[in-house]
Amino acid sequence: MFREIKMKQTIIQVDAFTSQVFRGNPAAVCVLTAAQDDQWMQLVAQEMNLSETAFLIKQDQDYSLRWFTPTTEVPLCGHATLASAHVLWTEGYASTGQSLNFQTKSGLLTARYQDNWIELDFPANRSQDIPPITKLQDALGVLIKTFSYNSLGYLVELHSPEQVKQLQPNFALIKQLPISQVIVTSLAAANSEYDFISRFFAPGLGIDEDPVTGAAHCCLAPYWRERLQKDNFLAYQASHRGGVVKINYSGGDRVLLQGQAITVMRGELL
């Protein structure tokens, strides 16, 4: 049995990597007044039924931060970290002039407020080239230009942004792969303001398609830096909701992601 909550907890839903409501990636954020057990947090995430629910609790000057999908805990989540920083600043837990430190299963993550954008300092995630995987190509139903993988999942490049946008994966086939998470990317159109676009599919985590994925851009930054020979990118995740990510990556072990966020609703867990 999970331990029942001892008092009401505020939970706030935020759309991340966007400045418009009902766009970007929604995350629920719960700033805990007392520690709760893992099963309770998993059940709350299941109840919220969003790609991620974040749980924060103050620890000295830092915050402990954990992320749950409706089915499992994950080691890293960009959009729910962005949403968490937004909640701490907009709800009066911290000043926007104050950087935030998050203790997580991926180590120390930091956030700072800069010119109406939130900047996250995350670990870079480099990919390794691999031979073509027929089942992966069958699952995506499109000719793949390059195959690689990293600790998040597969990363494949397609030949055009239209292919990325029109993709209709076979999620049952993706679940049968050794890794059931796939980042799909391409260069943006020649007349676009963006450098590249992407989508992220994670049926093995209970998320067929994640609307905007910070962790995926930790993989995409090294991938596109090597190919485009530049450090700064403006990226678009081309899900049906869509979202914008600014990236700075100079080739080290850390990548800076910037996004915006907006509160959609506020409630209480009883």
Q: Are strands 128-129 and 73-74 parallel, antiparallel or unpaired?
A: unpaired
> Which residue from 87, 86, 225 is spatially nearest to 235, judged by alpha carbons?
225
Most distant CA pair in the chain: distance in Å?
56
Q: Are strands 232-237 and 243-248 parallel, antiparallel or unpaired?
A: antiparallel
Neighbours of 34 (CB within 10 A): 10
The percent helix, strand, coil of the chain (3-state, each to 5) is 20, 40, 35
Q: Write out the catalytic residue numbers.
A: 52
How far is residue 132's CA from residue 111's CA, in Å, rounded to a whole number?
A: 38
